[in-house]
């Protein structure tokens, strides 16, 4: 058990779980947290950090971000890099909602422009953008088109007029993860995906209209095209039922193959196979296809959002300055090059509830952002704030170019529903100046602000630890959720 008393303090924001804590650990654990977050942290996710340290081929550390909480196999907020020669790939290290991620738009609107139209805007967004469990999109894809989306991702949408070339430039991986193969995706997954393209989803997925409350790095903010008082939009969604089904299918396949490769694990939920095995290659190809589906989904949601803003404000998206700042994935597996022991190596990075945070000068950054570093978009809960950060060299050195992804739950959904009993959450949000519309009856209860860690504490840790830098803080004004 990774009891808190076993943690070794490195500094105010880093804690080490020694390799000697449990037999079979191949690397230590490294937890990013301050005293406050650590005291509130439950034991189970720390135990999962220890379990991940048992994976064959894992390099340097089993990493935990400050928003860490319990997940399937891996903790949510976990990062693990493995050597591609002798390492493994684990669906639990990427998660059920493959390429759940966030994109952020700038606008040239200010609060005075939007104040009298906020309720109309939120109502229109809610009525036009399908949300909720099992919601169906208006974009109907036949079998051939469905397969094309899985190969081309966001690029498929832009080719059909649902966006611009600039949208692709400012999307991680340019909205298309190489190696996708739709033939490795089950028919059941394809059927679920055909109905749900262009939908927001349920639970913690949202579309939020925000105002920039603070600017910490004016020069970088200027490059990103935002300033204090500007209205921004954040879209948080993933691969919907298709991604869930891909994960479910391959957990079954890989779970049945673990012993075939003689892999010993402390938790069956860590089911994994060698990256270069037939099962590993098939899972990566299906996972990449689901990731592309999610990028296409967020691209279409962006298109709908622009249309709705244009209608409400009687102006074109161009006149409203609705440019994409960036799109990041936070449940994904990638082949990347990193320096290990002074030598550059190709690794496979599992990021589950963790965001890529590449530094200035990295070759994968858009030209416009080369001098700044990669935009890192971190949503908080609907009652507090969200943040825009940038990646750093410290992240490349310590965390394989990774940082946190959100606030992180402190209450299960069941506990949150109990805590909300008898309360008028809509009214509570209204008093905070946030207009909210939701589809599901329990969504507001499940997504109580207090069901999450304070995003300000989480951001303080990653900023002070140096694995990403604060650029701007946004306050919610209106939100739609499933």
Instruction: Please give the residue range of the domain that contains residue 51.
Output: 4-481
DSSP 257-268: TTGGGT---S-G
Total domain count for the chain? 1
Other beta carbons less than 10 A from residue 349's beta carbon: 22
Residue 330, annotated as binding a ligand: yes
Q: 381: annotated binding-site residue?
A: yes
Q: What would the pLDDT profile of 229-244 be if each residue is shown by its tens digit?
A: 999 999 999 999 999 9
Instruction: State pTM to two decimals.
Output: 0.96
Catalytic residue among 54, 69, 338, 405: 405
357 is in an annotated binding site: no
Task: For residue 379, say whether it is annotated as part of any ligand binding site.
Answer: yes
DSSP 443: H
pLDDT score of 95 more than 60: yes
Going by C-alpha positions, the residue among 27, 37, 26 that lies closest to residue 4 is 37
Tell me the C-alpha distance between 48 and 266, whole Å: 9
DSSP β-ladder status, 355-356 and 402-403:
antiparallel
pLDDT tens column, 162-194: 999 999 999 999 999 999 999 999 999 999 999
- Catalytic (active site) residue 463: no
CATH number of 328's domain: 3.90.1860.10
Chain-centre distance for alpha carbon 10: 27
314 labeled part of a ligand binding site: no
Q: Quick one: which of 360, 401, 385 has its CA closest to 459? A: 385
The torsion defined by the Cα of 82, 294, 468 and 87, in degrees rounded to 10, comes to 0
Q: What mean pLDDT, rounded, does the chain reach?
A: 95
Is residue 405 part of an annotated ligand binding site? yes
pLDDT digits (tens, 9 = 90+) for 116-163: 999 999 999 999 998 766 666 778 888 999 999 999 999 999 999 999
Do residues 212 and 244 touch, judged by C-beta distance below 8 A? no
């Amino acid at each position: 058990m990774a009891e808190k008393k076993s943690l070794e303090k490195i500094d105010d924001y880093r804690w080490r779980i020694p390799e000697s804590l449990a037999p079979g650990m191949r690397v230590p654990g490294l937890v990013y947290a301050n005293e406050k977050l650590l005291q509130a942290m439950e034991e189970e996710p720390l135990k999962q950090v220890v379990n991940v340290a048992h994976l064959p081929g894992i390099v340097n550390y089993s990493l935990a971000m400050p928003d860490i909480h319990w997940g399937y196999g891996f903790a949510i907020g976990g990062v693990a890099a493995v050597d591609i020669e002798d390492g493994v790939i684990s669906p639990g290290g990427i998660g059920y909602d493959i390429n759940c991620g966030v994109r952020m738009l700038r606008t040239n609107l200010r609060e005075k422009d939007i104040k009298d139209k906020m309720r109309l805007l939120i109502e229109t967004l809610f009525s036009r953008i399908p949300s909720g469990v099992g919601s169906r999109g208006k974009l109907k894809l036949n079998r051939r088109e469905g397969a094309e989306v899985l190969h081309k991702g966001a690029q498929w949408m832009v080719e059909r007029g649902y966006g611009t070339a600039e949208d692709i430039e400012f999307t991680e991986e340019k909205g298309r993860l190489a190696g996708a193969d739709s033939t490795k995706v089950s028919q059941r997954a394809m059927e679920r995906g055909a109905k749900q393209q262009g939908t927001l989803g349920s639970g913690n997925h949202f579309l939020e209209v925000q105002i920039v409350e603070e600017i910490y790095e004016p020069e970088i903010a200027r490059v990103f095209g935002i300033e204090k008082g500007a209205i921004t939009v954040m879209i948080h969604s993933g691969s919907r039922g298709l991604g869930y089904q891909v994960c479910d299918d391959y957990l079954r396949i890989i779970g049945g193959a673990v012993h075939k490769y003689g892999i010993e694990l402390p938790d069956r939920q860590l089911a994994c196979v060698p990256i270069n095995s037939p099962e590993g290659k098939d899972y990566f190809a299906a996972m990449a296809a689901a990731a592309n589906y999610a990028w296409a989904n967020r691209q279409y949601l962006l298109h709908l959002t622009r249309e709705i803003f244009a209608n409400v404000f009687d102006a074109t998206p161009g006149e409203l300055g609705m440019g994409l700042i960036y799109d990041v994935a936070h449940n994904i597996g990638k082949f990347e090059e990193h320096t290990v022991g002074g030598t550059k190596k190709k690794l496979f990075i599992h990021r589950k509830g963790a965001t890529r945070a590449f530094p200035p000068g990295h070759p994968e950054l858009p030209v416009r952002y080369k001098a700044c570093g990669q935009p890192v978009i971190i949503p908080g809960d609907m009652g507090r704030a969200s943040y825009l950060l940038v990646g750093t060299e410290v992240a490349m050195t310590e965390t394989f170019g990774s940082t946190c992804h959100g606030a992180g739950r402190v209450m299960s959904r069941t506990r949150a529903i109990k805590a909300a009993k008898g309360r008028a959450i809509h009214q509570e949000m209204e008093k905070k100046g946030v207009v909210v519309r939701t589809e599901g009856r329990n969504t507001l209860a499940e997504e109580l602000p207090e069901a999450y860690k304070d995003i300000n504490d989480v951001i303080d840790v990653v900023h002070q630890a140096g694995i990403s830098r604060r650029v701007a803080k946004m306050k919610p004004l209106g939100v739609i959720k499933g």
